[in-house]
């Protein structure tokens, strides 16, 4: 049986407005901390390798999710990445029109994982799957260890 | 097994180390905003508060008079039947003196809070509110209190239309 | 068809105010330790149940989906259970459903909590559990409900703050022997009474701290458990009950929902006289008075009688009913969900005689772990036997 009284005039329907302000200070974790230090100090990517299944992961991780063992071996990446997929975004987070930006999921040969970032391509018609890209880094003094230490990726 | 293991996993760090930048961190703020529908029962409750009155809801089956009012009795699991205006006086069921605010920082003036069983509702039907015009050391469980309302033109239809409950003068 | 379920391994990380590990890494460390202790690898685990309290602490929405790689749950059936503070004991209950129903033979149960990212203080996340229209505008904090409940409990039975402080002294002292403990220390009733009032009658040393940490257990069916170990700990009784959020309409001096959850677990485990048959207990103690409140709800003490039991030493490790031999939340720490799981791990180790310096004097064969939470509304109880 439903409730016996309903609101029939819209003015009687009250609402309460408020917000829930939240502030987070995230640290990156044991492996994440190392990854970010290497990015900050040398501008390179740190990878982890599983001794059991030999898979290499980017970014560096503490454990291999398949073998469920700790990964102690790390190495830095020297090769460029390639564009696994890309798209053009012209809306912001609240849905309003914004300046068009090319973003891509960038992967690396022989490595599991990838990095999502902006693409800086002077001629968007040249964008192609598999295109080789390298990061454009901020100056060492400006880097903080965040992925924004890379301004964007550009064709090699 | 616990006595056979010599070291337990984990790396401790301190909040100060993070603040000082020993560990890289990212600060992220966001503030979701809400416009909550008060619903049938509370819409009426708030409208009555704006009028300087407290309203409750009665269930004919268990005969309880419920405050805060609700359109269904959660014990009998059936719709409630009637609005009942109850008094704005009550008894202190329990109370506390809070020295910290919502963000865990110490307050200069402590807040006095209580669960007040409202007269006219069933026994034990309390609402949460503040106490005022009373020395903290003189608050007792069982103390009779009276609502102190905002002026009519300041009332908006909110729980804060009652400023606080104060002891009834005897 | 209901089958018998056993706990065959347990693992726990350090509990600290802030840990470097990310949520995935914390989960991995606890899960790996549990697997190693049972002699199992991830391939042997058929399902995963995880427990973690508000997403707002870790700061990642839908965090069950986020941390699951650290629990080896990629590509596996995974459920997240959540009842606020009751989650830690509810997690193995969820695991029990998986195994007792015959659906799976093994289940990894992990509880993880990372409270440190929320700034300025983790307590802030609790503010949003209150009624948005009738309670939040008054500036509520979580401490309000505890202090109001503590005051009512003290008033109804004429209990003094000093008697309640004995629980903090006992638990923090017990925690010195727990390797993961955040706040193990030798304190006195006087120290508690003199610590600064936060929300009277609650004082600083009456409260457990916010923490980061994770803990895990492995559940197995009878057939598998007997192959893995000659000391399985049987999860013989589970119970859980919730009350409404209309907490201002409730008798705050007695947790009726804990009683109902306990009776459910006792019935399943065939326990007729809890006080005599439960030999070691880990009730939930985020505040010192809560241990007493819960002992009464669990029928392990008469109404209003738990303080006397504590003062008389009955609940010490060498007493007739040792309570919180681990050091509880007050001593070990309170990463909300992981804290309840810490209690499960403790009973597991106690019933196998593996608790080292924390081992209770009597030869305990039946133990109980209980958690509580939400807006003072849930009781979750497990009864274990060796």
Other beta carbons within 10 angstroms of residue C74's beta carbon come to: 14
The secondary structure element, H or E, covering residue A152 is strand A150-155
Q: Write out chain A residues lying below 8 Å of B38, CB-based.
A: 13-16
Query: Rounded to 5 degrees, what angle do the CA atoms C237, C241, C244 make?
Result: 175
Residues 24-43 of A with CB under 8 A from C: 24-33
Q: Give chain A positions within 8 Å (CB) of C55.
A: none
Residues of chain A with pLDDT under 50: none
Domain-located, residue C203:
no
CA distance A134 to chain B (A): 24
- Considering only residues 44 to 63 of chain B, which have any Cβ-Cβ distance to chain A shorter than 8 Å? 44, 46-47
Whether B163 maps to a domain, the answer reads yes
Kindly determine whether residue A20 and residue B38, on different chains, have CB atoms separated by under 8 Å: no
Matching residue, tokens 């106490």: B131
| CA distance linking residue A58 with residue A38, whole number of Å | 13
Residue B170 confidence (pLDDT): 60
In chain B, how many domains are there? 1
Helix (H, G, I), strand (E, B) or coil at A85: strand
**Cβ contact, residue pair C21, A30, below 8 Å:** yes
**B43 interfacial to chain A (CB closer than 8 Å):** yes
* Axis crossing angle, helix C161-175 with helix C288-297, rounded to the nearest 10: 100
Inspect the interface and report whether the beta carbons of C9 and B98 lie closer than 8 Å: no
Q: CA-CA distance, C284 to B4, in Å (whole number)?
A: 26
Q: Do the domain assignments include residue B156?
A: yes
pLDDT in tens, B94-152: 999 999 887 778 899 999 999 999 999 999 899 999 999 999 999 999 999 999 999 99
**Domain extent for B97:** 39-167
Exposed, middle or buried, C230 (CB in 10 Å: 0-12/13-18/19+)?
exposed
A73-106: b (≥16 Cβ within 10 Å) or e: ebeebeebbbbeebeeeeeeeeeeeeeeebbbeb
**Pair of tokens at residue C23:** 């949520």
Of the candidates B10, B38, B99, the beta carbon closest to that of C198 is on B99
Neighbors of chain A by Cβ distance (3+ pairs < 8 Å): B, C
Q: Count how many domains chain C has.
A: 1
- What 3-state class would DSSP assign to C72? coil
Q: Is residue B22 part of a domain?
A: no
CATH classification of the domain holding C38: 3.40.47.10
Assess contact for C349 and C230: CB atoms under 8 A.
Answer: no
| A30 contacts in chain C (CB < 8 Å) | 20-22, 25
Candidates C8, C39, C134, C147, partner chain B, best to mutate (most B CBs within 10 A): C134
**Given a contact as 3+ CB pairs under 8 Å, which chains touch C?**
A, B
Q: d(Cα A135, Cα A44) in Å, to the nearest integer?
A: 9
User: B122 in the Ramachandran plot: left (φ > 0), alpha (ψ -120 to 50) or beta?
Assistant: beta
Confirm or reject contact between B100 and chain C (CB < 8 A). Answer: yes
Measured at the alpha carbon of residue C110, what is the angle toward residues C106 and C116, in degrees to the nearest 5? 170
Residues β-bridged to residue A15: B37
Range of the domain at C273: 5-119+209-385
Closest by CA position to C48, among listed C22, C67, C23, C26: C67
Q: What angle do CA C225, C228, C231 make, to 5 degrees?
A: 70
Q: Residue C178 domain-assigned? A: no
- Quick check: C117 contacting A, CB < 8 Å? yes
Distance, CA of A66 to CA of C42 (rounded, Å): 8
Whether residue B9 contacts residue C14, with contact meaning beta carbons closer than 8 Å, is answered with yes
User: In the numeric block, which tokens belong to residue A144?
Assistant: 């903080």
The alpha-carbon gap from B35 to the nearest alpha carbon of chain C, in Å, equals 10
**Positive or negative: CA dihedral B65, B66, B67, B68:** negative
Distance, in Å, from the CA atom of A19 to the CA atom of C127, rounded to the nearest integer, reads 11
| Encoded tokens for C322 | 């040792």
Which positions in chain B touch A33 (Cβ < 8 Å)? 23-24
| C96 found inside a domain | yes
* Cβ contact A24–C133 (<8 Å): no
Nearest by CB: B94 against C26, C30, C152: C152
Q: Residue B115's closest chain C neighbor by CA?
A: C248
Q: Look at the block and give the residue holding tokens 């005022």.
A: B132
Measured CA distances, C120 to A32, A76, B148 (Å): 23, 36, 34
Which tokens in the block code for residue C246? 């209309």
pLDDT digits (tens, 9 = 90+) for B11-67: 998 888 888 888 888 888 988 889 999 999 999 999 999 999 999 999 999 999 999
Tell me the sheet residues that pair with C371: C380
Q: Note whether A69 and A63 are within 8 A (CB).
A: yes
* Backbone torsions φ then ψ of C251, nearest 5 degrees: -75, 105
Q: Write out the two tokens for C94.
A: 């969820």
**pLDDT of amino acid A39:** 93
Residue spans of alpha helices (H) in chain A: 29-42
CA gap B165, A148 in Å, rounded: 54
Helices A29-42 and C23-38: crossing angle in degrees, nearest 10, is 130
Count CB neighbours of C124 within 10 A: 22
- Cβ contact (<8 Å) for B9 and C196? no
* Subunits in contact with chain B (3 or more CB pairs closer than 8 Å): A, C
CB A45 within 8 A of CB A38: yes
ipTM value, please give it.
0.88
- Please name the residue that has the structure tokens 């901020």: A138
Picking from C155, C179, C250, the nearest residue to B8 by CB comes out as C179
Domains defined for chain A, CATH in brackets: 29-155 (2.40.50.140)
C160 domain-assigned: no
- C107's tokens: 């289940």
DSSP for C323-350? B-TT-HHHHH-B-HHHHHHHHHHHHHHH
Task: With CB atoms and an 8 Å threshold, state whether A33 touches B26.
Answer: no
Chain B, chain C: beta-carbon pairs less than 8 Å apart: 170
DSSP codes, chain B? -TTT-------B--HHHHHTTSS-EEEEEE--EEEEE-HHHHHHHHHHHHTT-EEEEE-TTT--EESS--SEETTTTEE--EEEEE-SEEEEEEEEEEEE-TTSPEEEEEEEEEEEEEBTBPTT-EEEEEB-SS-GGG--TT-EEEEEEPPGGG--SSGGGEEEEEEPP-
Q: Write down the residue that tokens 């029109």 correspond to.
A: A97
Give chain C positions within 8 Å (CB) of B38: 133
**Within-domain flag for C141:** no
Dihedral through CA C338, CA C342, CA C344, CA C345, nearest 10? 130
3-state secondary structure of C49: strand
Strand partners, A117: A104
| C22 burial level (CB within 10 Å; 0-12, 13-18, 19+) | buried
Touching check for A84 and chain C: CB below 8 Å? no
C359 found inside a domain? yes
Which parts of chain C register pLDDT below 50?
A: none
Q: Identify all chain B residues contacting C148, using CB atoms and an 8 Å cutoff.
A: 94-96, 113-115
Tell whether B85 is covered by a domain.
yes
Distance to chain C for A111, nearest Cα, Å: 18
On whether residue B144 sits in a domain, the answer given is: yes
Within-domain flag for C318: yes
**Contact status, residue C8 vs residue C108, Cβ threshold 8 Å:** no
- Interface with A, mutate which of C18, C40, C56, C69 (most A CBs under 10 A): C69
Share of chain B above pLDDT 70, in %: 96
Q: Token digits for A156?
A: 């090699």
**C332 token code pair:** 């070990």
Instruction: Please check whether residue C188 lies inside any domain of the structure.
Output: no
∠ CA B62-B67-B71, nearest 5°, is: 65
CB burial of C43-67 (b: ≥16 within 10 Å; e: otherwise) equals: ebbbbbbbbbbbebbbbbeebbebb
């Amino acid at each position: 049986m439903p409730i016996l009284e309903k609101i029939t005039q819209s003015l009687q329907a009250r609402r309460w407005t408020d917000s829930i302000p939240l502030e987070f200070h995230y640290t990156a974790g044991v492996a994440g901390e190392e990854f970010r230090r290497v990015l900050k100090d040398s501008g390179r990517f740190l990878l982890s390798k599983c001794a059991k299944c030999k898979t290499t992961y980017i970014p560096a991780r503490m454990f291999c999710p398949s073998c469920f063992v700790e990964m102690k071996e790390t190495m830095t990446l020297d090769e460029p990445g390639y564009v696994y997929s890309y798209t053009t975004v012209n809306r912001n987070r609240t849905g309003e029109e914004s300046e068009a930006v090319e973003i891509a999921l960038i992967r690396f040969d022989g490595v599991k994982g990838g990095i999502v970032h902006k693409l800086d391509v002077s001629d968007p018609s040249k964008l192609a799957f598999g295109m080789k890209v390298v990061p454009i880094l901020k100056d060492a003094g400006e880097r903080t260890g965040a992925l924004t230490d890379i301004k964007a990726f550009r064709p090699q | 097994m616990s006595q056979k293991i010599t070291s337990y996993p984990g790396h401790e760090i301190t909040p100060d180390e993070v603040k000082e930048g020993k560990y890289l961190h990212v600060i992220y703020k966001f503030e979701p905003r809400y416009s909550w529908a008060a619903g049938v029962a509370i819409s009426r409750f708030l409208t009555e508060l704006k009028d300087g009155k407290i309203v409750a809801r009665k269930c004919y089956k268990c005969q309880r008079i419920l405050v805060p009012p609700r359109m269904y009795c959660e014990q009998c699991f059936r719709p409630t039947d009637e609005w009942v205006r109850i008094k704005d006086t009550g008894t202190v069921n329990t109370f506390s003196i809070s020295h910290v605010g919502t963000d865990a920082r110490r307050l200069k003036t402590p807040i006095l809070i209580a669960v007040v069983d409202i007269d006219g509702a069933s026994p034990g039907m309390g609402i949460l509110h503040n106490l005022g015009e009373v020395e903290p050391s003189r608050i007792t469980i069982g103390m009779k209190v009276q609502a102190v309302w905002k002026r009519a033109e300041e009332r908006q239809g909110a729980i804060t239309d009652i400023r606080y409950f104060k002891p009834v003068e005897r | 068809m209901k089958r018998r379920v056993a706990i065959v391994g347990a693992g726990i990380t350090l509990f600290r105010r802030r840990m470097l590990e990310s949520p995935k890494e914390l989960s991995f460390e606890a899960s790996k330790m549990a697997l190693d202790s049972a002699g199992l690898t991830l391939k042997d685990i058929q399902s995963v149940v995880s427990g973690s309290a508000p997403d707002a602490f870790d700061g990642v929405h839908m965090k069950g989906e986020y941390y699951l790689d650290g629990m080896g749950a990629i590509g596996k059936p995974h459920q997240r259970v959540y009842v606020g503070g009751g989650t830690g004991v509810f997690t193995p209950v969820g695991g029990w459903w998986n195994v007792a129903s015959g659906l799976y033979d093994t289940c990894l149960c992990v509880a993880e909590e990372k409270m440190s990212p929320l700034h300025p203080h983790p307590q802030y996340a609790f503010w949003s559990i209150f009624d948005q229209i009738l309670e939040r505008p008054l500036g509520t904090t979580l401490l309000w409900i505890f202090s109001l409940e503590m005051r009512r409990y003290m008033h109804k039975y004429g209990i003094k703050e000093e008697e309640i402080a004995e629980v903090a002294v006992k638990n923090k002292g017990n925690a010195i022997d727990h390797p993961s403990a955040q706040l193990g220390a030798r304190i006195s009733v006087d120290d508690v009474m003199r610590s600064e009032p936060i929300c009277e009658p609650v004082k600083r040393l009456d409260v457990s701290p916010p923490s980061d940490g994770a803990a895990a257990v492995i559940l197995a069916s009878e057939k598998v458990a007997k192959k893995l170990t000659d000391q399985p700990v049987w999860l013989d009784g589970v119970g859980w009950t919730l009350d409404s959020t209309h907490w201002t309409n409730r008798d705050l001096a007695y947790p009726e929902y804990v009683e109902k959850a306990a009776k459910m677990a006792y019935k399943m485990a065939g326990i007729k006289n809890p006080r005599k048959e439960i030999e070691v207990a880990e009730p939930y103690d985020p505040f010192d008075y809560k241990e007493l409140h819960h002992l009464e709800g669990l029928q392990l003490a008469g109404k209003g009688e738990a303080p006397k039991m504590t003062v008389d030493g009955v609940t010490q490790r060498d007493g007739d009913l040792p309570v919180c031999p681990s050091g509880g939340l007050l001593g070990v720490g309170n990463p909300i969900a992981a804290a309840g799981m810490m209690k499960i791990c403790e009973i597991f180790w106690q019933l196998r005689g593996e608790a080292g310096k924390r081992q209770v004097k009597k030869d305990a064969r039946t133990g109980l772990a209980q958690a509580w939470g939400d807006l003072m509304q849930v009781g979750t109880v497990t009864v274990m036997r060796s």
